[in-house]
Structure formats: structure tokens, C-alpha cells
Structure 1
Amino acid sequence: MARDLTRLKGLSSVNALTEGAQQGTVLELDPSQIRVEKQVRKKFRNIEELARSMKEEQQSPIIVSPLDKNTNTYLLQKGERRLRAAILNGEGFKIKAIVDPTVRSKSKSTASQLAENIQREPLTPIEVAIALVDLREQMKEEGKKGTGRELAEYCSKPESWVSKHLALADLPDELAALIDDEITSDSELIQSLAKICELKPDLYLQLIDKARSEGGLSRSEARDHLKAARGGPATKNQPMTPTASPKDDPPAPVQSGSNGDPSGAGQGGIETSGPDQKCKVGGDPANEKVDGASPQKIPHAETSGSVPGAAQAETTTPQPATRQPVKKLGKNEVLEIPAEQMVMQVRVSTDKKQFTGELLLNVVCGNPNKGMVSYLDGSKQQKGLFDLDQIEIITLAQLASGD
């Protein structure tokens, strides 16, 4: 009588799971055998395309921890996009995995994920911001300070890159969605809208709607609206009546940076300089929402615009001051201006918070390693001395003058 051996068909794979999980071993696993915990990436693009590619070509293995005998599963370390694509390919598709037995702290694991994802499929700025927040908290739990310098060392990135991304972590959902959807990467526009949200939420929603429209929203328009929201005079850019109500289609939720490239926005970056540009719809509408932990938020910078000065009129009859347009310069063009017309917007990063303000160029300190910064604390204008290594220049601009 022939012996039925069908029940032993999966014996080799079982042995691979229990005995072959050693460093450097490549396994072929069913996606159901892989356990996923909180990952750095929140948005997953082009999964269908990746799934097709994995069917046709040699796939790069994912990285997993050794077999957990209590759950009979492997914990995913790196490669959630590939895992999702494998699941999409359906029953019977095996995914290659390398077992990494290295025991890492939470912070080292997060930093490793962050580096892996940035190099492969660039994370969105908001995803980077949330990952940095998580990394900082994990470092503190492990007895470290979690300073910007330590974060930069962990991620092998400039400290300015870390501070710019952390500043995005507490943005309103609608504003974070503008960045995630690649509608804008202009830091001044983002900061202006964030402050308008605090002062006039209804106006903020109108401007978000305008930013998503075909005409877009420029940084000068947002700057003028912010000035009016703070009680300044109305400008030609400010609508006297609401032009539109917020769209019914809700923006994507905050998912969680900018890069340190001074020439503009790189991959997943935030522009901090350049000509006044309108933000226009340019994101990928096919971005899918993914399950997982809700994004975390942290306190960060109080944002403020530049502090404009007003020239005194010398006419005998008072005339309303009109703002003179600043000469538009090309990227490689320079213009010599009086020192008093220079506005230097900076970001200050302390151990407790981050905020933006204006570096006062007419004030010096006896300690040459400190600078005076004017900034908004709630609704109050404040001044304070800060170490120069805590101050990062964001923009240099000419102050528009009145008649």
C-alpha cells in the first residue's frame, strides 16, 4: 500500500522556519508569517507596480528578526512596501527574507528604518518629521538627551535637516496634506498659513482651498493675509468677502521634513528660498491611506513672519503709506541695499522648543557667540538672546518700504 506523503509536503519550509533562521540566511516566507509593528513609512505609493515587478524579476529580500516561537512569526525590520506588494500578489506568492538577529534599541531600529526608506522610496516630509519625533522620544527613554545634534548623528544628516523636519511635526492636518500631496514646499508660505490657522481658522480654510485651486496661493498673498489677521491694514491680495468655502473633499491626515539643500526642495524637501511662487496642485491623487498607528504630534516652533519696519512720511499732509514692491531678482542676481532694509528670518532650536523669528542685526551682545532674536510668543512679541549654534538662517530678504 502506497504511503500518503502529502502531509509532509511543507516539511522543508517548516524546518527553514525553525532551524534556518540564522544570520544571512535567505528564506522564502508566506506574507502571513511576517508580523508588522509600527513603521516609519505611512504612505505607500505604486504598490501595484511593485507587485508586478516582484512577480517578473528577482526581488530584493526584506529584513526580519528571528522567529518568535510564541507566535510562529517573524517581526519585520525593513521592507513593508515589498511585503504589501507580496500580499497583493495573492495566495501562494512567497517573499524572500533575510534574518537579522542583531538586537537593537528602539532608537537604533527607528534610525535604521529611516535611513533605509530615505534611500529607497523617499519618505514624505511629514513621515520624516513623525519618525524624528519617535526617534527623539526613544532616545530620551534610553537615557539620551535627544538633541538635534544627536538626531543628526543617528541619521547621518545635517543638523539643519533635522530641525527643518521637526518643525513640520505639529502642523494642522490640512497644511500637512499640502506638503504630503506635493502642492507646496515653500517654508514661508507654510509658516504663514500655520499662524493664520491660529488667528483666523475660517480664513485659513479658505486659503487652503485656494492653494489647492488651479490659481494656487503665493507666499506674498499668504504674508498679506497674515498681516491683516494680526490687525494690520488690508492689502490688495486680501479678499474683502469669502470667495469660496472649504472643499467637501477632506485633505489627507497628517502623516509626518525638509532637506538642507539651500537651492530649494530636494527629495521630500521644503523650499526655504527662491522667488515668490504660487503653490499649485501637483500631488499624486492616487496616494492611498494605510492602516497603522495614528501620527503623533509634538509642540514645536511658534511661527512668525518678518517684522516689517515703517518709514516715516515727511509730507505735511498725512498720506496712507503704500508698500513699494521689492525688486525681483534672478537666482544668480544680487542687489546692494542699505543694512536697515535687510530682514534675516531664522529658526531657533532649543532643548525645549523650536520657533522662527527675526535676527536683529542692529543689536550686538558682549558675548560674540550669542544673537538677539525677535519672535512671537503666543500673541506677544518677545526678544531673547540665543547661542549662535541654536540659530539657523532661513531666508534673507529686502524689507519693502513705504512712501
Structure 2
Amino acid sequence: MSEASPKKEFALAGLKSLAGNLAKLDQVATEGRVLELDPSQVVPSLQVRTSFIEIEELADSIKQGGQHTPITVGPMDTDTGKYPLLMGERRWRAVQLIPGLKIRCIVDASQRSAADLIKAQVTENEQRNGLLPHEVGIAIQRYKEARLADGVKLTYPQIATEWSKPLHYINVHAGLTDLPECILSLITNNITRDSEMLFSLKTLHKLEPETCEKFIAEAKDQPDLLTRATARNMAREAKARATQQENGGNATGGLNGNAGAEKQSGASGFASTQAASTAAPSSNSGAGEEQGSAGAEAVAAGQVDVGGTGRSAEPSKGSESGQAQGAPQEKSRPKSVTRDIDANRIVIAVNIVREETTKGLLLVNKVVDGQPGKCVVEITKQGKQTELIVDTDCIEIVTMAELAAIE
């Protein structure tokens, strides 16, 4: 067999080089232009959106009025002749339901990192048909991992800055990445997309799965039960019960007795929780009453180390916590009783919710000058009491009680 002559090899290499250059020129020529492609020429890539709903409705809209906004694709892969989809998967899926219709695309050859592409997809989706709450959480997690792969370890406050979002938004959505099926069904069945409510329900499910599942089942039949305040208060009550059990307290009296009645009475019990939530002048006020009662029980007679700080609190006079542990369980909670105390004697135990939850005390006698969105908390770190300045939207009040008197 005769070997190819040097001239032929040179010519063949020249043709390959020319073909490559022509492909590059074609990419440059198409960059920024609107192309009409067959949907099969576009291949999807990893997207922040994972649930594609109402695609048929979108297809009908495109069929009647046309595709107003092109999708965004990357440069054509010269090996496959296809374009990677960057943004617009809902439109791409909808066009595929319309036989013979071409899809309008814009080629974006920008060199983006994986993290930048995730952020761009989140922004684009929020401007159109917003992402579902858990999809935002997954996007936050992927963004954090992508930045870590680039050698940058980010905290949630730093992500909030880079995304131009409130820290509370990042904290709440980051906690929605692994929702139980019963909570996820509220989203997929288009019952609610309230991230605050979903976060509270997830907290409740983690502590008391059966209570959460029962509440959701009944709320599907009675949608009025499903409110942010009700979910938040049920989660707080479950936390109070868990705290009492951890500290060997009576987990069946007072507030827990009320919760037990809710479990027994079904929808009427949940409705009573909702009524307690809405009867207060504001959500904070309503939370304060329940936390005051829970706090009195949780720190009764100095049994509980408030917020892990080594300081104890005493129950308010006339509160349910003054009952003996052997007292009979009550089916419902009596009306809350309030009394005035010296503001310097109030103990507010809090959770500092960041990447990890830390217990502490809110210092009501200190403020951060010029920064009303921040507060001062005291935590115990390595056996020593330390003061921290944190964002107020990271603070979750657990209990409120009076500082125990020193004999």
C-alpha cells in the first residue's frame, strides 16, 4: 500500500484547519443574532429549575401569539452541531409541543463560570415565571458548591451580598432543599409557595412528622387553616416540647397539653391555633404570648440553662409552670396572664439561625449605633460568654422569662 505523499497530508491538514476556522467564523457571525432553530438542535444543560409546570398553557400562548422572547444558547458544538441551552428551558419544552415550529434563540458566547451561570439563571427565572421555593434553595447550594470549586468558600451573608438579596431570603430558601414529600406536595399541587410557611412546616415535620402530616392533610381540605402564622406557631410549640423533653421537663402540661388537645381534636385543634395567631394585634405580639408561656415552663425553677449561657430564669407568677409535675393534664390552655416586670430582669433566649443554629441570649440593653438591622447577643463559646453582633433577621426568639432572683 502506497503511503500518502507529504503534499496530500499537507493539503488534508489544511482543509481540516480551514474547516475549523470556518466553524469559528460561523460562531462569531451568529453571536448575538436571533437564530431560528429546530428544537432538536438545542440540548438542555443543568438548570436551576427542576419542576416544569403549565408547559401546555405556555405552548398554547406561543401558538397563538408567537414566541416573544428568544431562549439563550451557547455557541454550537462543532462535533455535534448542536447548541447548549443556557436559559429558557420552559419555552424550549413548550415549542416542542408545536409540530414544525422553529425556536428563536440568541447565541451567547460569554465565558461564564458555573457559579455565574447559576446566578444568571436564577435572575432570569425570577424576572419571568419565578422559581419554586425549593428550586431557589437548590440553586443557592449549587452556587455555594460552584464557588467552592473555584477556591472561594462563601457564607450565607456573603451569598446574600453577591445575589443582592436579604440574608433572611437566603437563610430561609437554603433550608428548603430537602423538603418531605407531604410539604413538597403543597408546592406541586399549587396550594402554596410561601417560603416562610414551608420553612416552618419543615421545622415542624423534623420535630413531629405525624403532627405535620396530619395538619397538611386537613389543611388541603380546609385551606383557611394554612397560614404563615399557624405554621410558625405550631413549629414553635413543637420546639418548646422538644426543649422540655431534652431537659427532662414535663412534656405534657401547659402548652404541650394544648398541643395534645390539637392532636386529638383534629381540624378543630388546628383551627384554635390559627385563631390564637390571628387574635393578637400583630404576629410578634401573638408569638410573644406563646413564647412567654413556653419559656415559663422550659425554665421553671431554674431547671433549664437558658440559651446555654449558664443563667437561669424563674416562671412568671400565676403561670402554668408553677403546677406540680404530677398535676393532671389540661385539655386546653387558660388565657395568658401578663404582669409588669423590670426590663433589666427579662431573659430572652434566642436561636441565631445562620449556616448553623446557635443558642444565645438577646441583650436588650445594647444596640448597634447606626445599624437598626443588627442586634447584640451573648453566647457561650468554649466555656466563656461572648458577645456577637448579628443581623436581626437571623434571630429566632425561643423563650421569654424573668431572671431568677438571687437568694
TM range (shorter): 0.5 to 0.7
Which whole-Å CA distance do the structure 2 matches of 1:56 and 1:232 have between them? 61
Q: Please tell me whether residue 111 in structure 1 is matched to residue 109 in structure 2.
A: no
Q: Please tell me whether residue 120 in structure 1 is matched to residue 125 in structure 2.
A: no
- Give the gaps of 5 or more residues in structure 1: 1-14, 245-271, 278-304, 328-335, 375-381
Residue of structure 2 aligned with 1:73, choices 75, 82, 97: 82
Indicate how the Cα distance of structure 1 residues 222 and 156 shifts in structure 2: closer, same or farther if over 3 A, else same: closer
Is this contact kept in 2: 1:345–1:357, CA < 8 A?
A: yes
Question: How much does 1:44 deviate?
Answer: 2.5
Which whole-Å CA distance do the structure 2 matches of 1:369 and 1:151 have between them? 21
Indicate how the Cα distance of structure 1 residues 238 and 136 shifts in structure 2: closer, same or farther if over 3 A, else same: same
Which whole-Å CA distance do the structure 2 matches of 1:162 and 1:388 have between them? 19
Which whole-Å CA distance do the structure 2 matches of 1:157 and 1:136 have between them? 15
Is this contact kept in 2: 1:172–1:194, CA < 8 A?
A: yes
TM-score computed with the length of structure 1 as normaliser: 0.62
Aligned match of 2:371: none
Which whole-Å CA distance do the structure 1 matches of 2:86 and 2:95 have between them? 16
Q: Please tell me whether residue 158 in structure 1 is matched to residue 158 in structure 2.
A: no
Aligned match of 1:27: 35
- Give the gaps of 5 or more residues in structure 2: 1-21, 246-250, 267-281, 297-314, 368-373, 403-407
- 1:253-274 CA-to-partner distances (Å, cap 9, x unmatched) read xxxxxxxxxxxxxxxxxxx956
Indicate how the Cα distance of structure 1 residues 314 and 124 shifts in structure 2: closer, same or farther if over 3 A, else same: closer
Is this contact kept in 2: 1:86–1:95, CA < 8 A?
A: yes
Is this contact kept in 1: 2:38–2:101, CA < 8 A?
A: yes
Question: How much does 1:191 deviate?
Answer: 5.4
Is this contact kept in 2: 1:348–1:391, CA < 8 A?
A: no
Which whole-Å CA distance do the structure 2 matches of 1:16 and 1:49 have between them? 38
Partner secondary structure for residue 69 of structure 1: coil
Aligned match of 1:89: 98
Root-mean-square deviation (CA), in Å? 4.5
Partner secondary structure for residue 79 of structure 2: coil
Aligned match of 1:185: 194
Is this contact kept in 1: 2:31–2:107, CA < 8 A?
A: yes
**Larger relative contact order (Cα-Cα within 8 Å, sequence gap ≥ 6):** 1
Matched-pair identity in %: 30
Q: Please tell me whether residue 308 in structure 1 is matched to residue 310 in structure 2.
A: no
After TM superposition, the structure 1 = structure 2 runs for residues 204-243 of structure 1, keeping only pairs within 5 Å, are: 204-214=212-222, 216=225, 218-219=230-231, 220-228=233-241, 230=245, 231-233=251-253, 234-239=256-261
Question: How much does 1:68 deviate?
Answer: 0.5
After TM superposition, the structure 1 = structure 2 runs for residues 167-316 of structure 1, keeping only pairs within 5 Å, are: 167-178=175-186, 181-183=190-192, 185=194, 187=196, 190=198, 193-214=201-222, 216=225, 218-219=230-231, 220-228=233-241, 230=245, 231-233=251-253, 234-239=256-261, 308-309=295-296, 310-313=315-318
Aligned match of 2:353: 348
Aligned match of 1:132: 140
After TM superposition, the structure 1 = structure 2 runs for residues 311-390 of structure 1, keeping only pairs within 5 Å, are: 311-313=316-318, 324-325=335-336, 339=343, 347-349=352-354, 353-355=355-357, 359-361=361-363, 371-373=377-379, 385=386, 387-389=388-390
Indicate how the Cα distance of structure 1 residues 18 and 274 shifts in structure 2: closer, same or farther if over 3 A, else same: farther
Partner secondary structure for residue 212 of structure 1: helix
Question: How much does 1:237 deviate?
Answer: 4.3
Indicate how the Cα distance of structure 1 residues 186 and 141 shifts in structure 2: closer, same or farther if over 3 A, else same: closer
Question: How much does 1:47 deviate?
Answer: 2.0
One-letter identity of the residue aligned with 1:392: D
Is this contact kept in 2: 1:128–1:165, CA < 8 A?
A: yes
Is this contact kept in 2: 1:370–1:385, CA < 8 A?
A: no
Indicate how the Cα distance of structure 1 residues 36 and 326 shifts in structure 2: closer, same or farther if over 3 A, else same: farther
Indicate how the Cα distance of structure 1 residues 82 and 275 shifts in structure 2: closer, same or farther if over 3 A, else same: farther
Which whole-Å CA distance do the structure 1 matches of 2:40 and 2:65 have between them? 22
Which moves more between the two structures, 167-176 or 189-198? 189-198
Question: How much does 1:227 deviate?
Answer: 3.8
Which whole-Å CA distance do the structure 2 matches of 1:232 and 1:361 have between them? 31
Indicate how the Cα distance of structure 1 residues 171 and 390 shifts in structure 2: closer, same or farther if over 3 A, else same: farther
State the aligned residue count: 312
TM-score computed with the length of structure 2 as normaliser: 0.62
Question: How much does 1:372 deviate?
Answer: 1.8
Is this contact kept in 2: 1:341–1:398, CA < 8 A?
A: no
Is this contact kept in 2: 1:344–1:393, CA < 8 A?
A: no
Question: How much does 1:210 deviate?
Answer: 3.0
Which whole-Å CA distance do the structure 2 matches of 1:204 and 1:355 have between them? 22
One-letter identity of the residue aligned with 1:173: E
- 1:357-391 CA-to-partner distances (Å, cap 9, x unmatched) read 564336979xx9852259xxxxxxx9974632466
Aligned match of 2:70: 61
Partner secondary structure for residue 123 of structure 1: coil
Question: How much does 1:121 deviate?
Answer: 1.0
Which whole-Å CA distance do the structure 2 matches of 1:274 and 1:364 have between them? 20
In our comparison, the structure showing a higher alpha carbon Rg is 2
